[in-house]
Amino acid sequence: MNITEKILAAHCGKESVSPGEYIVADVDMCLGNDVTAPIAIDEFRKAGFKKVHNKDHISLVPDHFTPNKDIKAALLSKTLRDFAGEHDITNYFEVGRVGIEHVLLPEQGIVGPGELIIGADSHTCTYGALGAFSTGVGSTDLAACMATGKVWLRVPQSIKFTFIGVLPRWVGGKDLILHTIGQIGVDGALYKAMEFCGPVIEGLPMDDRFTICNMAIEAGGKSGIIVPDEKTQTYWKKHGERRRHSDESVRFFESDPGAGYEMTYEWDVSSLQPQVAAPFLPSNSKPVNEFRNKKIDQVVIGSCTNGRISDLRLAAEVMKGHQTAPGVRTLIFPGSQEVYRTAMDEGLFDVFLDAQCAISTPTCGPCLGGHMGILAAGERALSTTNRNFRGRMGDPESEVYLCNPAVAAASAVTGTITHPEDVSA
C-alpha cells in the first residue's frame, strides 16, 4: 500500500484498504474555526448530543474574523468560547493565544505524523506535510466527529508527484505547488491523495512542505501528503513535546515499493522561475517575468500558506533597506503568536516598519475577504495566500494574483509584479 492507504487502514482496524472502499475511521484530531464550528455546534445540539467523545481530540480556533470585526463575528467567537467552556475543550485558543489554525496546530504539536485529522476548513490538508492523512470536511461531519470520534470516508486514489533537479534561487514550495496546479488544473486531482516526493521535496524545509500540502485542495485534492523523513522527525521532536493529548503515540508510515498510483508525474524544476497565478484561478500560473510591470495596489504577506517565520524572513531579506512604493499598501500577517514574537525578536518588524508596511495580529483577515485588507472595485492585490477566485479578497471587480513571499516583497518595493532578483542585489 501507499502511505495514504496505510494510514487509513490503521485507523479503521483493517489490514488493508483499497481505493473506492468506504470506511468508518477513528479520528485523532478534528478542527473547527469561528466560521465553521458554530454550524457544527448547532448541529451537535440539534442531534441531541450532550457530551463530546474526547475533549482532547477537538481543536477550536477562532482565526477568520478575529479579532472580532463586528457584532456577528463576536457572536461566532462567543459560540466557540461557550462550547469550549461547557465541554472543557483542551485545545481552544483565545485571541492573544491564537494563530492561523494551519500554522498553529503543527507548531503546538496538536497534530502529528501518521494521524487521521479532519477539519471543517478546506486547507486542513496542510498537515499532510507531517506524514498524516488530513482533509477538510463539512460542518455536519465535524459535529458527528465531535460526538463519536469517527468519520466516514471513501478511500481515495493516489497520484504521485516527483520533483527532480536543483531548485533555483528564489524558488520554493509555493512555486512548486503553483506549477503543479498549473500543469494539472484545479480539478486535476479531484478527490485524490496527492503524494509529493523526490529529491527536491526531500531537500525542502518543513515550512515549504506545509505550503505545498496546504494548496493540494486547489487542485481538487482530497489530501496532500509527504512521506516523513529525518526533517519530519526533527520537527516533531521539537514540537511534539507540546502535545496536549498524549494518550497515543504517532507513527511514521511510508509507501511500499511498487505501491499503486492512479497516475504519476515527474518534473525537473532546475529551470523553474518563481510562479505567479493570475486571476481567477490558482491554475493560471506562469513565470513571474511574464507579469513584469503589472501595477499593484496591495501586497499581502502571510496566511496559512505563507505566514510562517521562514516566509517572513524571506520577505524581510528582499525588503531590507527599501521602502514600499507610493500607493502600495503592504500588509504583514504572522501565522501565530510565536511567529509574531520570533519575527519581532529577530528585527524583522523593524525591516517591515522601516519599509512602511502594516503588521497585523495573527488572523486570516483579507485572505477570504474577511477584514483588514478588503479590495475595492478595480484594485489589484499580489498575495502569498492560496486562492484568487473572483471576489475572494473583496469586490468582484478586484483582482488577486498569487505568489511566494520573495516575489511579494520585491513587488511591494517596486509597485509592480517583480522578480526578487531585480530588487535584492
> pLDDT tens digit string along 265-305?
999 999 999 999 999 999 999 999 999 989 999 999 999 99
ω into residue 280 within 30 of 0, thus cis? Answer: yes
Q: Does domain 275-422 have CATH number 3.30.499.10?
A: yes
Q: What is the pLDDT of residues 234-269, one digit of tens each?
A: 999 999 887 766 555 789 999 999 999 999 999 999
Name the strands in the sheet holding 116-119, side by side, starting at the edge strand that comes first in the sequence: 91-92, 58-61, 29-33, 116-119, 133-136
| 327, three cell numbers | 500607493
> Are 9 and 15 a contacting pair, CB within 8 Å?
yes
pLDDT grade, residue 352 (50/70/90)? very high
| pLDDT surpassing 90 at residue 357 | yes
The DSSP symbol for 120 reads S
Q: Phi then psi for 266, rounded to 5 degrees? A: -140, 130
The C-alpha atoms of residue 408 and residue 402 are separated, in whole angstroms, by 9
Residue range(s) occupied by CATH 3.30.499.10 in the chain: 3-243+251-266, 275-422
Please write the tens of the pLDDT for every residue from 89-135.
999 999 999 999 999 999 999 999 999 999 999 999 999 999 999 99
Which CATH class, in words, describes the domain spanning 3-243+251-266? alpha beta
Q: Is 295 left (phi over 0), alpha (psi -120 to 50) or beta?
A: beta
Q: Does 165 have pLDDT greater than 70? A: yes
Distances 263 to 188, 192, 214, 215, 257 between C-alpha atoms, Å: 11, 10, 21, 19, 15
345 exposure class (CB count in 10 Å sphere: 0-12, 13-18, 19+): exposed
- Does residue 316 have a pLDDT over 90? yes
Mean pLDDT of the chain: 96
pLDDT of 248 = 59
**302 closest CA partner among 220, 214, 376:** 214
Average pLDDT over residues 60-79: 96
The pLDDT of residue 424 is 73
Q: What is the pLDDT of residue 242?
A: 79
C-beta of residue 190 within 8 angstroms of C-beta of residue 283: no
- The helix (H) or strand (E) run that includes residue 359 is strand 358-359
What is the reported pLDDT for 241? 81
Q: Could you tell me which residues come within 8 angstroms of residue 245 by beta carbon, excluding any fewer than 6 positions away? A: 29, 54, 56, 57, 90, 91, 110
Per-residue pLDDT, 425: 57
Nearest to 340 by CA among 148, 99, 105, 155: 99
**Residue recorded with cell 507513527:** 251
Residue 367 pLDDT greater than 90, yes or no: yes
Q: State residue 244's pLDDT score.
A: 63
Q: How many C-beta atoms surround the C-beta of residue 293 within 10 A?
A: 9
Residue 222, SS3 per DSSP: coil
pLDDT band at 34 (very low <50, low <70, confident <90, very high): very high
